[in-house]
A and B are shown apart, each in its own frame.
Chain A
Amino acid sequence: EVHLLESGGGLVQPGGSLRLSCAASGFTFSNYALSWVRQAPGKGLEWVSTISGSGVTTYYADSMKGRFTISRDNSKHTLYLHMNSLRAEDTAIYYCAKGYFGVLDNLDYWGQGTLVTVSS
């Protein structure tokens, strides 16, 4: 059974940094792309970033480019999101999700999310 468990969220001041983690199990980790998707309070889902199974290829939403960095450690079955220069509008629940087949494909499993609050 596929499990994705996010951690690392919390309260951070504007301009600060945070690293989110997503521990995965139940599938051959290095074979699948993984994504981060966020949801601001009361809003819809917003794609943040995707990384290929090997970690070589990464994609970012325009508003996150240059501030966020996605990475993965295939030996630890863990996905990361490094977030810098955080703004109030980055406040959201951050979900990790597994890709179905290709690097950019439908997402077929989701974690429960971790809440990031950017506030002074």
Chain B
Amino acid sequence: QLVLTQSPSASASLGASVKLTCTLSSGHSSYAIAWHQQQPEKGPRYLMKINSDGSHIKGDGIPDRFSGSSSGAERYLTISSLQSEDEADYYCQTWDTAIQVFGGGTKLTVL
């Protein structure tokens, strides 16, 4: 069964960096995923797609502070030079035959 696992919460200080993790279920380590950001009271926003080799495709207007990487079944979103507007929920998403799957989301707090 295709499942994405995310930590429920993360925190980091203003101006620092943070690395969020999305883990693919066993047998699915070759799958690409996408990261989406949801600021409070807003709709989601696509950030980037990350392939198993770590290559990534960013969405329109996504700042260079956002980057992606991959290792095994883990897909990462790194945000550097954290700003207050980065405080949001971050969801990973993947897909397979006849199904789309979302992770449970990580709530990022900027201290």
Which A positions have Cβ atoms within 8 angstroms of B? 35, 37, 44-47, 50, 59, 61, 95, 97, 100, 104-113
The one of B33, B96, B102 in contact with A46, judged by C-beta atoms closer than 8 angstroms, is B102
Known: A45-B102, A59-B98; 7 extra A-B contacts, CB below 8 A, are A44-B89, A44-B105, A46-B102, A95-B44, A104-B97, A108-B59, A110-B43
Q: Which residues of B contact A61 (CB under 8 A)?
A: 99
B interface list, Cβ under 8 A from A: 32-34, 36, 38, 42-46, 49, 59, 89, 91, 93, 95-105
Residues on A with beta carbons closer than 8 Å to the beta carbon of B38: 45
Contact A35:B45 (CB < 8 A) given known A106-B32, A106-B95, A107-B34:
no
In the complex, 6 of the A-B residue pairs with CB atoms within 8 angstroms, ordered by the A residue number, are: A104-B98, A104-B100, A106-B93, A107-B36, A107-B93, A110-B44
Can you name the residue of chain A whose Cβ is closest to the Cβ of B8?
A: A44
